[in-house]
Amino acid sequence: MKIRDIDSSIKKINKYVLLVICFIICLILGGVGFYIGNEFSLSVFYVIPVIIAAWYSSKKTAIIISAFAVLTWLAGDLLAGRSYSVFLIPYINSVGRLILFLIVAFLVLTVRKHLSEQTLSANEDFLTKISNSRAFFNYARMEFARLERYKEPFTVAYFDVDNFKAVNDIYGHNSGDKVLTDIAYTIRRNIRPTDMVARIGGDEFAILLIKTDPYQAKIIVKKINNLLNNLMRKEKHEVTFSFGVVTFLRKPDSIDAMIKKADDIMYIAKRNGKNRINYFVYK
């Protein structure tokens, strides 16, 4: 089994179940420490539940597991009746172990945070803060698999902002950036959490609507188009939107073929006068 598969499997475990597993590992190690004596060090094994808690749960959980690991280690030593030259030694050792475990936990938490930020930035459009083309393509691949397995249709709405260049030329690029940001925000607020909106490039966007048939697609896209047009009128921008909406009843040959089909349908709308929605069913 690959490391990625193991990681994915652990992430599916309920956080409370994961916490119980970490507690059990610590208890097992405490029991082992009780029997094997001082000849073997179990410190490296105690770090395992601490790392699991820090990577897959929260800072609070990592601190709790770190403290519990120290307590089970101390309990194993005391119950085994080991003798020390000074009675405070096992407690002093416990403080040192707690510091070590906390350092490990916070290092893991820091790495996880930076990795999460890098992953987010790699899949997020820098301006609008919605998904970028890379994230859109990855999500579309999952829909390909769903369509192939469950025969559930999905819809791609590809659209372009008509006359967007005029906004930049007349009002400046800051105004143009605000238009794009407002468009992204409006769509994200008015689609389901399972759907996706992405900025594909420039003033072109794509919306992926999962489990959406042609009838549902018309209702959703018409609503989005009305919201965007109302927003532009409110902001007094003379821009409109040309949509190419394709509902896929069967899987296209590739992601590129999917985008090209939606793009082609969108350009038909632009050639026919802009400010319109063009629909197509791929079957």
7 is catalytic: no
Q: Which two tokens stand for residue 121?
A: 């930035």
What's the rounded Cα separation, in Å, for the pair 7 and 193? 24
CB atoms within 10 A of CB 180: 20
Long-range pairs of 13-16 with CB within 8 A, sequence gap ≥ 24: 13/56, 15/56, 15/57, 15/61
Query: Angle, nearest 10°, between helix axes 89-122 and 59-79?
Result: 150
Pairing of strands 131-132, 196-201: parallel
The residues, ordered by sequence, that sit 6+ positions from 125 with a Cβ below 8 Å of its Cβ are 131, 132, 184, 198, 199
CB 252 within 8 A of CB 235: no
Q: Which amino acid is at 270?
A: K
Q: Which residue has the tokens 């994230």?
A: 135
Out of 177, 203, 256, 263, the active site residue is 203
Residue type at position 241: F
Just list the catalytic residues.
203
